[in-house]
Amino acid sequence: TLYASIRLIVALYARENNPVSSLALGFFGQIYITLPLCALALLYKMGPLVALAMFVFIWASDTGAYCVGCTIGKHRLFEKVSPKKSWESSSLAANPRYYEASYARPPTETITGEDMSETKHNEEEAAQQAAQPAGKGSPAANLRSTIIEFVVIIASALVLAWLITTFVGRPYQVPSGSMLETIQLKDRVISEKISYYSHGPQQGDIVTFTDPLDPKTTLIKRCIAVGGQTVDLVDGVVYVDGEPLDESTYTGGKPSHPEDGPAQIQYPYTVPEGHIWCMGDNRTNSLDSRYFGAVPVDSITGHAFFTYWPISSIGPLE
C-alpha cells in the first residue's frame, strides 16, 4: 500500500509517451519488490497461495495507482496532443537524418531557415554528448542502479518483516491438535501484538506464548484465568474464583482433569501476578498449565484472533 502510494505520486509527474510502459512498469517492475516479499511469505510459512496472492495484489494496486496518477496528472497517454505538439516532442525533430524522408514533417508544414538552424544546433549537442564518457544512462550505470535497487528492496523487505513480526504480529501454523475443535490440525492463524500494548491478556483469549519447557517452541492455548484468580478442577469442571465455567462452546464437553507434570500443581491454585493460566480446548489431549504451571505474561507473543488458511477454516477465533 505504501509503495502504491509512492507510485501514485510519481505518476502525477510522469512524462512517458509509450502507452505500454505503464503496464510493463507495473508488472515487470514489481518483480523486484514481490520476489523478496513472496520469499518472506514462504519463510514465515504463510503458504504458496498467500505468496501468489501477495504478488497479484501488489501488481494490481501498483498498476491501478499508476493509472490513476496518469489520469489525474493528465499523462500524455490520456491527453489529446496536437500534431504540431506531437512532432515537436518527438525524437525526429532532433535528428536531421529524418528530414530527407517524406514522413519527417506533416504534409502541411515546410522546413524554414529557423528549423534548419535549430537542427544544426541539435546535431552539435548530439555530437558533444557522444564524445563524453559513459555516465548516467550507460549500460554499466543502469546495471549498478538495478543492483543497488534490488539490494535496497531486499534489505527494506527484511527490515519491514522484522518490524512487523516483532511489534505487530505474525502468522503461525498449528502442528498439533491440542486446540481442537476450535483450531484444526495444520491450520494457519494470525497472532497480533497491538491489543496487548494497552492491556494484558483477558480471560477467554487465545494466546501464543513461548513454551516454558522449550524456549524454541511456541504454543497456542486459551487463557482461562489471569493473575490473582484461583483455578480449581472438580469432577472435570473448571472453576475460577469458585464459579464454574461454561466451556461447552469450545471444549465439546470434554472433561478437564489434573495432569501429572513437573509443576506439581495443587488445587485450588492461585495464579501469580504477572502470569496467566492456559489450557487447550482439547482438554483430554493437551499439555498446558495443568502440566507446566502458570505462564508468564512477558512470554506471550500475541493474541491469536483469525484463521486465514485453509479456506474451509477461514474466520475469527473465538
Rg (CA), the chain: 32
Parallel/antiparallel/unpaired status of strands 169-173 and 214-226: unpaired
Grid cell at residue 303: 493474541
Spatial CA neighbour of 293 closest among 276, 314, 316, 312: 276
DSSP label of 218 = E
Q: Which of 22, 61, 191, 221 is catalytic?
A: 221
- Known catalytic membership, residue 89: no
Give one word for 148, left, alpha or beta, with left for phi > 0 and alpha for psi -120 to 50: alpha
For the chain, what's the residue count?
318
Place of cell 505518476: 11
- Amino acid identity of 213? L
**Total Cβ atoms within 10 A of residue 315:** 9
Q: Is 195 assigned a catalytic role? A: no
Catalytic residue among 61, 178, 256, 286: 178
Q: Give, for 308, the enclosing helix (H) or strand (E).
A: strand 300-309
Residues marked as catalytic: 178, 221
